[in-house]
Amino acid sequence: MRGIPSLITDIRKKVFTEVARMAYNGGDYTQAEDLPYVIVPGDSPLHRESIFLERAIAGERVRLAMGLSIRPVQTRSLMTEGMDQAAIAAQYYEPPLINIIPYACHACPPKQYRVTENCQNCLAASCQQVCPKGAISFVNGKSRIDPEKCIKCGKCAHACPYNAIIYMERPCAAACGMDAIDKDDQGRAVINQNRCVACGQCLVSCPFGAIVDKGQIFQVIRSIMQGDQVVAIVAPAFIGQFGKSSTPEKFTTAMKMLGFDRVVEVAVGADMCTIEEAKDFLEKVPQEQDFMATSCCPAWHAMVEKLFPAQYKNISMTLTPMVFTARLMKKKYPGCKVVFVGPCAAKKLEAIRANIRSDVDFVLTFEELQGMFEAKDVDFAEIPEGESMREGTAAGRGFAVSGGVAGAVEDLIHQTHPELEVKTARAEGLRECRKLMTMAKAGKYKGYLLEGMACPGGCVAGAGTLLPVELAATVVGRYQKEADNTSPLDSAYRDVGEELD
């Protein structure tokens, strides 16, 4: 559904816009009680059975956008409950990051095969013949599957000449590569937080908009409004996310209009990361470890830690591009606040790790930033061009797409050690990442550099993006070609990474 305008994307944009507007207009968080009526106006529901339910869901969305937890439905509480602690510039959200609003969940059916109206009551009855459990019979002239006997093997669906049997699965569960979606006693989806790695793929896959991540829009704006020097470090996947008119030069102007002191591309940190990971690989593989895995994707990182703890040591200890860039900004501008702006929900959890909190003060997704642009009436078609971001290389900008990290490291090693053969393997999407690590655990990737991306397509497919994945990847490719330099060795910060690490 990513990149397809819908009622869900409209509501999310309204929530982010109104929270941002409230923060810019003095930060009186008690106004939040009125926001559900602004977000859901009128007296008729748009898509739920009741406008009161729609407003209740909107209220929880507002709370989550401000980093607060969902209120329990069993007790009465104000929508602003706890906002006095959250509505300050230094506040972090607390896990869980990804949440399901219970009464927004449709309680979609779990995995099952279902006979549709396409069934023709054919004489061959192929579906019945191939079923190994005798779970299919004719009832009122149509095939019927007994769910108690069905083992979900799918043989009936493959055998039906009319494609009358379909496979159904919760969209959120199908999207979750960690199998972290369970159900409660009412059949509604719940997240097993012990397995969740906050990739956010369930969030963008739920057609009812019931899954929401926590945010820091309000806190970022309050930091700006109280006079902090707030520096935005922007992931390379930003290009094109805010419309055709949002050139890098206009983007810097727009960010200044929001109150950011300066804008820096995280491709700078990606170049440092490339140099340090290449060093890591050359030093450790195969002398100290069989293979090395890239460090950049936090959800991939967390997946390995949870499911393959014995292989966790094989992940490069190099800092991620976000942290490299943030540390560079803290060094150049002592006392500044750093906001990472990117496509990824999991970066929010990375940023609150104890060893990173002092480097990255806030994290915004592109979707949340769009709400800030809306609140300040920023029109990219009308604003002038500002400074260009020219420090990142083509290699660093390529981190935004699947294969970009491993490709950059491999190319750099070929530059410095042309005699060496570098073997790489990569996976995108957590199910494929799990397969990759299973093979690595079995010894199939000795001497390899492995890249894992939790989102199919890479960072351009993150939960906080606005563009269709294919279009975003194409735009990033053009952005790479516009870079002044190709190799991280041409970066002005080529020797800074080791100092910051």
272 and 366 share one domain? yes
Residues 190 and 268 in one domain: no
pLDDT tens digits, one per residue of 171-229: 999 999 999 999 999 999 999 999 999 999 999 999 999 999 999 999 999 999 999 99
Per-residue pLDDT of 325-362, as tens digits, reads: 999 999 999 999 999 999 999 999 999 888 888 899 99
CA–CA separation, 279 vs 199, rounded Å? Answer: 28
> Could you tell me if residue 2 is inside a domain?
no
> Considering the domain boundaries, does residue 445 fall inside one?
yes
pLDDT in tens, 214-223: 999 999 999 9
Q: What was the pLDDT predicted at 93?
A: 77
Identify whether residues 96 and 16 lie together within a single domain.
Answer: yes
Query: Angle at the Cα of 201 (from 337 to 324), degrees rounded to 5?
Result: 30
**Same domain, residue pair 381 and 264:** yes
Per DSSP, the three-state class of 193 is coil
What local confidence, expressed as pLDDT, does residue 89 receive?
73
Asked which of 134, 153, 168 is the last residue of a domain, the reply is 168
Looking at the fold, whether 284 and 339 belong to one and the same domain comes out as: yes
Could you give phi then psi for residue 416, rounded to 5 degrees? -90, -25
Q: How far apart are CA 294 and CA 274, in angstroms?
A: 10
- Residue 24 CA to residue 222 CA, distance in Å, equals 7
For the chain, the domain total comes to 3
**8 A C-beta contact, residue 163 and residue 139:** no
192 and 161 both lie in a single domain: no
Confidence (pLDDT) at 1 = 59
On whether residue 381 sits in a domain, the answer given is yes
CA dist 463 and 343 (Å) reads 6
Q: Which domain holds residue 381?
A: 219-500
| Closest to 14 measured CA to CA, from 43, 29, 35 | 35
Residues 332 and 432 grouped into a single domain: yes
Query: What string of DSSP letters covers 84-113?
Result: HHHSSTTPPP-S--EEE-GGG------SEE
Q: Is residue 406 part of a domain?
A: yes
Please indicate, yes or no, whether residues 234 and 140 belong to a single structural domain of this protein: no
Whether 461 is in a domain gets the answer: yes
The single-letter code of the amino acid at 335 is G
- Same-domain check for residues 196 and 88: yes
pLDDT at 411: 97
Radius of gyration of the chain (CA): 24
Calpha distance 237→473 (Å, rounded)? 8
Q: Is residue 246 part of a domain?
A: yes
CA distances from 360 to 92, 95, 327, 330 (A): 11, 17, 8, 9
- Please state the pTM of the whole predicted model: 0.94
Place of tokens 């090693």: 413
CATH number of the domain that residue 154 is part of: 3.30.70.20
Residues of the chain with confidence (pLDDT) below 50: none
Check if the beta carbon of residue 357 is closer than 8 Å to that of residue 238.
Answer: no
Q: Among the three residues 168, 184, 201, which one is the final residue of a domain in this structure? A: 168
Cβ-proximal residues to 282 (8 Å cutoff; 6+ apart), any chain: 413, 417, 420
The closest alpha carbon to 368, from 24, 14, 55, belongs to 14
124 vs 158: CA distance, rounded Å: 14
Helices (H), 337-490: 346-351, 366-375, 394-397, 404-416, 430-441, 469-481
Domain-embedded: residue 431: yes
Whether residue 1 lies inside any domain: the answer is: no
Q: How many Cα atoms sit within 13 Å of 193 on the Cβ side?
A: 8
Rounded to whole angstroms, the Cα distance separating 53 from 66 reads 20
DSSP 3-state percent helix, strand, coil across the chain (nearest 5):
40, 10, 45
Q: Are residues 227 and 180 both part of a single domain?
A: no
Pair 494, 391 in one domain: yes
Q: Please state the φ and ψ torsions of residue 363, each to the nearest 5 degrees.
A: -130, 130
Shared domain for 354 and 402, answered yes or no, is yes
